[in-house]
Structure 1
């Protein structure tokens, strides 16, 4: 059976939503960040970086959110969460997964944890403000690329849309939250309406306002 190590609302939400969309049997294993469980010796054996999530699939122990996304898309091709291998659409899917993980997801680290980027705590607010400015520009670029399409890949829903939904949610506390951009808000609402997404949010105890 698949096992997902998670903490509510963390990056683990993305593979959790995917597993619900797939309909696979899996178990959730809470990594209690409130108790620094991600730094425990047992968890560090699974992910030496001490970050969440980790996916266990048989003998495979996999960390890094984007890697888990691609593994699940390959493992369960019948789910339709990624276009067929070898197609131009699959390459577009790769583009979005890599962009979302390398650009806004990475930038959120500086927004949420600015103290990790300074040696002088007094400088942390400037790091956070600079991250906000960069995130604003990043979401503007994503919005322009999305345009009036239903999903990032056009008319086809994919795991990339789940990824963007999670990032829109993460930005809910920003001065200009991503939901304030009309087409990003509309996409997030479409994702939120999916039954599998509702089940994942309920299982993690995530309540409104979601984003």
Structure 2
């Protein structure tokens, strides 16, 4: 397997999962701004990371789908949902929320130029985006409570995905300690040996 990632992007999550799985894999680093170049578009025409090339040559894309795929492919590592319908529902619910609500909330904050050319409006766009991000973090903070992991009282593929957004939130104006449960979770993840190896590989920090 070969994972294409951009440092600190959502591809950080499957990178961590591959370390947890412990099977041989390779990585391909894509620098910011290079995902729309022909070489990478030949791998993922959507021009996004992550992209995972399987041993048989199949190319998998989209972080949520790759995370769930890896959990299914390596059941012995126990990173997916338990076999009950309710457990699978909880897994898919939070995957959908992180993918469909939390992740897109950051786009206008980090990249307002995607939405408007008038630089004078960038601040207003970021302010509006930040309100949405704060709403999502408050909800997640309340949900996490004293939980160590997102679901089932054990680590799953959800946890590195949430860790990605906690890292992003750590760079926002509001101190991330204002979300104490998320901050505790982020610091706990940062102590994981596999997470540390991946962050060293990607040359990123909290």
Q: TM-score, normalised by structure 1?
A: 0.91
Do residues 46 (structure 1) and 43 (structure 2) align?
yes
- Once residues 194 and 87 of structure 1 are traced to their aligned partners in structure 2, the CA distance between those partners, rounded to angstroms, is 30
Q: How far is 1:177 from its partner?
A: 4.1
Contact kept in structure 1, 2:14 and 2:66, CA below 8 Å: yes
Q: How far is 1:179 from its partner?
A: 4.1
Superposed CA deviations along residues 21-71 of structure 1, whole A, max 9, x for unmatched, are: 1112100111122xx431121211221121111111123211111111111
- Once residues 124 and 193 of structure 1 are traced to their aligned partners in structure 2, the CA distance between those partners, rounded to angstroms, is 36
Equivalences for residues 4-19 of structure 1 within 5 A: 4-19=3-18
Equivalences for residues 59-98 of structure 1 within 5 A: 59-98=57-96
Do residues 31 (structure 1) and 30 (structure 2) align?
yes
CA distance 1:111–1:126, shift in 2 (3 Å): same
Superposed CA deviations along residues 133-175 of structure 1, whole A, max 9, x for unmatched, are: 1100110011111222222115222111111111000112211
Segments of 5+ residues of structure 1 without an aligned counterpart are none
- Once residues 21 and 5 of structure 2 are traced to their aligned partners in structure 1, the CA distance between those partners, rounded to angstroms, is 18
- Once residues 177 and 6 of structure 2 are traced to their aligned partners in structure 1, the CA distance between those partners, rounded to angstroms, is 23
Which of 120, 137, 161 is 2:118 aligned to?
A: 120
Q: TM-score, normalised by structure 2?
A: 0.93
Which residue number in structure 2 is paired with residue 182 of structure 1?
180
Segments of 5+ residues of structure 2 without an aligned counterpart are none
For 2:14, what is the secondary structure of its paired residue?
helix
RMSD: 1.5
What is the count of residue pairs matched by the alignment? 205
